[in-house]
Amino acid sequence: MSHVSYGYIPIATLHHKKLRKENQSRSIAISNIKDNLIACLKFLGQNYQIIQKENTLQKFWSTAIQSWDRSLIPKIKLIEI
């Protein structure tokens, strides 16, 4: 049986309010998916420069998964964006 481990992901806040519909947060534009995904990886402290060079979403995800490093996620509760 493999070992299960859990982690924590910081909450994104704007003006000290959690980003969510109830706080009238804007929805994410889907017009540029790659830029949104890179912003998420950057938010989570990942090495997005390597992934940014990929030219298809399939390669993007493949590289993102291979490069994922849980130890790089900021060890804080909130990140003000």
- Examine the pLDDT at 10 and tell me if it is beyond 80: yes
Residue 70 exposure: Cα atoms within 13 Å on the Cβ side = 5
Average pLDDT over residues 9-30: 85
Q: Is 74 domain-assigned? A: yes
| pLDDT (tens digit per residue) in 34-47 | 888 999 999 999 99
Q: Is 35 domain-assigned? A: yes
Q: Is 23 domain-assigned? A: no
- Examine the pLDDT at 1 and tell me if it is beyond 80: no
Average pLDDT over residues 62-68: 94
- Domain with 35 in it: 28-80
CA distances to 1, 46, 65 from 59, in Å: 30, 16, 10
Tell me the residue type at 11: I
Query: Which residues make Cβ contacts (< 8 Å) with residue 72, sequence separation at least 6?
Result: 44, 45, 46, 47
Q: How many domains are there within the chain?
A: 1
